[in-house]
Amino acid sequence: MFRLTLLRRAVVLCLFFHAVQIRGIRLSSTIHEEPTSLARALAYGPVKQNLTYLKSNSIETTTSGQDSSSWDQTYFAVHQTSSGGPTDNYYGLHATMGVYGHKLKPGQLTSTYITVTHSGDGVKSSFNAIQVGWHIYPENYGDSRPHFYTYWTRDGYDATGCFNMNCPGFIRANGALVAPGDVIKPISGVHEPVQNVTLKVLKDKASGDWWVYYGFNGNPTGVGYFPRSLFTYLAQKANGMAFGAFVVADKTLPTPPMGSGIRPNGGQGRAASFTNLRFIDQDGRSSPMTTDWPKLVTNNKCHSITPIGHAECLYGGPG
Ligand SMILES: *[C@@H]1O[C@H](CO)[C@@H](O)[C@H](O)[C@H]1NC(C)=O
Ligand SMILES: *[C@@H]1O[C@H](CO)[C@@H](O)[C@H](O)[C@H]1NC(C)=O
């Protein structure tokens, strides 16, 4: 059951960030399913000021709630839109990201992803999300290689949803070149070029289904979709989007590297990047991200993410 716990804590925490941002402190009362010390610290600690600040006008939030006492360690470096407001209507996201290899043990997870979400009626159990990206997750695959992955939920990561094709949900397109869960290779080496995956999630206007596109060092092609009928709120639209990375480790293990394992200020182009960041509108047209988004970083000393400029940013850290 450890695997589930690890994942749930990661996703619940991610959800928590979204939720707090959406509804302010009120929402903390609905985050009772995984009452971790970090969640409590975030809800009741100084971070709530920062979240309020973020909601009003900041583009930067730094949280410092990491509590090493008793549970799995989770760190984020994420950019996210505001979400849940009347003008928060989103239909797709496109990004190119480098893929890196690291030696991880069971009990460690590193993930780089993009996500579209809907906060539902504000209660955790109505939260809808699609997440796609690459991750290294030995407990799920029995190896320490990067895999292309998908994840979905329509109830705040509780009873619905899963990775890849582990449960019904994702429908593969005929002739798709890859399937969720496939190994990504080759990976970027220290002296070799960065290998890039381009991912796109968009709502098809005609069918209402959410399509996933994947490309390796090239333009992405459709690999399959999440049917509109899988979702409640996401059936209409997304009201939040985010991209970034997170790492999780059992408390007995070091946190694994994020991105390339090098912080953006490590310089010389060695930090991992998101490039070609693009919005996709209701009609499927894409345009480069020209504005910065709020960011959420659990501990700036360990991992960071740079502001979005020219539709790009750098992120990562050693762990
Ligand atoms: C809140 O955010 C401000 C501005 O980014 C930062 O200087 C401060 O350290 C943050 N406080 C906490 C507790 O994270
Ligand atoms: C991957 O993307 C980076 C950043 O845009 C670029 O410098 C690099 O050449 C790309 N690698 C390949 C193999 O296309």
Which two structure tokens, joined as six digits, stand for 61? 């939030």
Atom of ligand 2 nearest to the CA of 269: 7
Of all protein residues, the one whose alpha carbon is nearest to atom 1 of ligand 1 is 50
Mean pLDDT of the chain: 80
Q: Is 89 in the pocket of ligand 2 (CB under 6 A)?
A: no
Q: Which two tokens stand for residue 234?
A: 């996401």
**CA 96 – CA 200 distance, rounded (Å):** 9
User: Cα torsion for 221, 279, 52, 129, to the nearest 10°?
Assistant: -30
- In angstroms, what CA-CA distances link 88 with 36, 169, 261? 30, 25, 33
Whether residue 174 is predicted with pLDDT greater than 60 in this model: the reply is yes
Token pair 């579209």 in the structure block, residue: 116
Least confident stretch, 18-32, 213-227, 244-258:
18-32
Q: What is the mean pLDDT of residues 225-239?
A: 96
CB atoms within 10 A of CB 245: 26
Q: What is the pLDDT of residue 48?
A: 33
Nearest to 102 by CA among 111, 94, 93, 91: 111
Helix/strand/coil for 282: coil
- From residue 282, how far is each of 92, 129, 199, 202, 241 by CA, in Å? 8, 18, 18, 9, 14
Pocket test for ligand 2, best of 192, 194, 313 (most atoms within 8 A of CB): 194
Confidence of residue 86 (pLDDT cuts 50, 70, 90): confident
| Residue 55 pLDDT greater than 70, yes or no | no
Helices 37-44 & 2-23 angle (0-180, nearest 10): 10
Which amino acid is it at 136? I
Q: How far apart are CA 36 and CA 287, in angstroms?
A: 39
Ligand 1 centroid – CA 50 distance (Å): 6
**CA of residue 246 to ligand 1 center, whole Å:** 20
Cβ atoms within 10 A of the Cβ of 156, count?
26
Q: Answer for the pair 211, 225: CB distance below 8 angstroms, yes or no.
A: yes
pLDDT band at 26 (very low <50, low <70, confident <90, very high): very low
Residue nearest atom 7 in ligand 1 by C-alpha distance: 62
The pLDDT, as a whole number, for residue 225 is 98
| Rounded distance from Cα 106 to ligand 1 centre (Å) | 33
Q: Is 15 helix (H, G, I), strand (E, B) or coil?
A: helix
* CA of 316 relative to ligand 1 center, distance in Å: 20
- Shortest-distance Cα residue to atom 14 of ligand 2: 217
Cα(63) to centroid(ligand 1), Å: 7
**Amino acid 8: pLDDT:** 57
The model's confidence at residue 298, banded by pLDDT at 50, 70 and 90, is confident
Arch. (CATH architecture) of 67-316 = Sandwich (2.60)
Pocket of ligand 1 (CB under 6 A): 46-47, 50, 60-64
Inter-residue contact 92 to 114 (CB < 8 Å): no
Whole-angstrom CA distances from 240 to 34, 36, 43, 237, 273 are: 23, 25, 20, 9, 21
Q: Where are the domains of the chain?
A: 67-316
Name the pLDDT band for 59 (thresholds 50, 70, 90): very low
Name the phi and psi angles at 272, rounded to 5. -70, 155
Cβ contacts of residue 100 below 8 Å, gap of 6+? 146, 187, 188, 257, 259, 260, 261, 272
**pLDDT value of position 24:** 37
Cα–Cα distance measured from residue 196 to residue 198, given in angstroms and rounded to the nearest whole number: 6
